[in-house]
Chain A
Amino acid sequence: MEANHIHRALFGHDAPEEVRRQYASAREALPLADWPRIDLERLIEHGADLEALELALRRSRRRNALTQRFQVLCYLAEVRPDNFGRFVNERRRWPAGWLILGLHLLRSLYKLAKGRRLVRVHDIR
């Protein structure tokens, strides 16, 4: 469930079966940072915006348990051929590149505000 929700926050759809399996093994093998102590399952049940929450937490502390979960999933997704085009730009897209970055900047400002509110609402410390 966790892998699916993070994958959805990153790419807009559920994680493939193989990624879910690899993510579960990675979570078992690697120790997450001890901050913040969050009940991710509960947050997911409440429909919390994980992308917004991750950004807000990363702005307060670079190494945190939620960002680490996102990073692990990002690595696992990036090495899959079906995600190649999401990470590597093969054709020159000069105006589109600027436009997309501009839109993401605005979107990230909104997500940051939303994430900070979530931190307060769920009393994440």
Chain B
Amino acid sequence: MTSADIIIVGAGPSGTFAAYQLRGRAPLVLDVGYRAQESALDGNFYELRKARSAGGPDLFAEFIGPGFEGLHDVFHSSLSARLKGPRMRFVTRAAAELSPVVAQNFDASMSFAAGGMANAWGAGLYRFTADDLAGFPIGVLDLEPYYDAITAKVGISGADDDLSRFFGSVRGLLPPVTLGANGRALLRRYTRRRKSLNRRGLYIGHPRLAVLTRDHDGRRAYRYEALECFRPNDPAVYTPTYTLDELVRRGEIRYERGVLVERYAESSAGISVLARSSSTGERRTFRCRRLILAAGALNTAKIVLRSNDDHVTALPLLDSNRSSIPLVDPWGIGGALDPSVYSAAMLRAVYAGEHGPGLAHMAVYAIGVGTLCSDYLFDFPLSARGNIAAAKYLTPALLLVQLSYPDAPTPTNHLRLLPDDRLELRYASKPASPLESHVLGLFRELGYLGARGLCRRLTPGNSCRYAGALPMTATPVGHYQTDRHGLLSGTQGVYVADAANFTWLPSNSHSFTMMANAMRIADHVGRTLG
């Protein structure tokens, strides 16, 4: 039996930063820890595709895959472009077998990869403001030192612009990622109409991204190769795996890979952690004084329910619902595609007017950048041959605004552990929001055309941002709430350090807060051991 003072379950963003905070105390990190296969892609997405020289990478293997992984959306429900590339499939590998779910109106994505879902994230890291933390038993000042520490470690690019008031301190930011042609055009138009748009509640600015715009912490700056959907582990685009590997290399943590934690049991002698090998199924037991659960909101909830042998209780299920709003710039039709861009969120927008549910955060993407046109070609209304021409001449003119809605606990949206050990996820559809029409109107003022009929509310779960099953409260009750330090009610040493402990999900992206809060909780756990 392996023992440690502190065991951390999971090595996604939360688990890794809990471990980072406890480095030197030799916490033991238990993780399934699937890893990416090496990619042969070296160069720019577009340059590689047009190179005809022999000896280049096999583009079929890299973009489609020997198992036709890249054709996923043709035959199954839509998967994020960042998850379906052949080399990116490790992110969600074996999730259905290791953590089976029965879902109603919920497309759950889970990761058992080292670094978790962050291997496929857009790398947006945004601080929560006091408004975002309303209802949490912690405030901005509690998180500030950890936000700063992560900023220094990870390297976050961004700018002090109109969005600073929504994203908090600009301390330590690297220069923003260079915009592509349509990003520059949008920002230019916004600057010309800023006063009028601000009066109507719209603010636009640079995103804050864990993408290096200069060399930092031993990693090189981003090269604008637009390969994020196909090539894992670009050193310039941060994933928690980099920090995890560094901690292991320096001997500051212990890391056991191939371990799927199933439950824990607490006694006066400490905490037993019961697990099995993810490859052989062999049972294993670990012992610790403090247990930090950071297995992702859904799996952490599952471990807690299973530990209580509870197949009855329904826990809250929060998801950052999204709408996608396609827009076309008539002046951009026939334009040249800008090949040297970052393929994830190009710009960020916030709506702070009277038509929204509080603040509404939006990511603005250039459609088709860094992906194959075939992903969306058949969404155009022309004949197949016409659609190919449309993809060629229309793509440089297309923008996609992805609008995130906040979510709070409701009785209709919940998760439950079934007697057969599957996780039941139920989520009620939300009605269309009038905000979409309003956003269309605001972007029309900027010269972009769209239609309400083309707006699409994504299936719940599509955001991969889940939270709220074991919420933090000032006065926790029962077995399924946590105190402000993440301590699970009714336990002496079990802590929840991922988004399962969020009280609600604001519209703002929660990744940065998840990481900072995990550090804050780990800091407290360390102190309880003296």
Interface residues of A (CB under 8 A from B): 9-11, 22, 25-26, 29-32, 51-52, 54-55, 58, 62, 67-68, 70-72, 74-76, 78-82, 84-98, 100-101, 104-105, 107-108, 111-112
Contact = CB atoms under 8 A, between A and B. Distances in A.
B337 A52 contact: no
Given A9-B385, A81-B51, A104-B389, A75 B70 contact: yes
Contacts of A93: 334, 393
Interface stretch (B1-9, B28-36, B373-381, B521-529): B373-381
Interface in B35-79: 46, 49-52, 59-60, 63-64, 67-68, 70-71, 74-75
B474 interface: no
A82 B49 CA distance: 9
Contacts of B378: 58, 62, 67, 70-71, 74
A113 to B, nearest CB: 11
Interface string B62-103: 011001101100110000000000000000000000000000
Contacts of B372: 75, 78-79, 87
Given A71-B378, A94-B333, A100 B384 contact: no
27 contacts: A25-B68, A29-B67, A31-B75, A51-B383, A51-B384, A55-B384, A68-B75, A70-B384, A71-B74, A72-B74, A74-B374, A80-B59, A84-B46, A84-B50, A87-B388, A88-B337, A88-B392, A89-B336, A90-B337, A96-B334, A97-B333, A97-B394, A101-B333, A104-B389, A105-B382, A105-B386, A108-B382
Nearest to B59: A79
A91 B337 CA distance: 8
Contact of B52 (A25, A51, A79, A81): A81
Given A71-B71, A96-B334, A108-B381, 8 more contacts: A10-B388, A26-B68, A74-B378, A76-B64, A80-B59, A87-B372, A87-B373, A104-B390
Nearest to B73: A71
Contact of B68 (A30, A87, A98): A30
Contacts of A90: 336-337
A31 B68 CA distance: 12
Most buried by A among B51, B337, B392: B392
B396 interface: yes
Given A30-B71, A72-B74, A108 B334 contact: no
Contact of A68 (B74, B381, B390, B392): B74
B388 A55 contact: no
A67 B382 CA distance: 13
Contacts of A31: 75
Interface of B: 46, 49-52, 59-60, 63-64, 67-68, 70-71, 74-75, 333-337, 372-374, 377-378, 381-386, 388-396
Given A29-B68, A108-B383, A89 B335 contact: yes
Contacts of B374: 71, 74-75, 78
B75 to A, nearest CB: 5
Question: What DSSP secondary structure best describes chain A's contact surface?
Answer: helix
A49 B336 CA distance: 32
B49 A89 contact: no
B456 to A, nearest CB: 12
A32 to B, nearest CB: 8
Given A75-B374, A101-B394, A104-B390, A89 B383 contact: no
B49 A84 contact: yes
B467 to A, nearest CB: 32
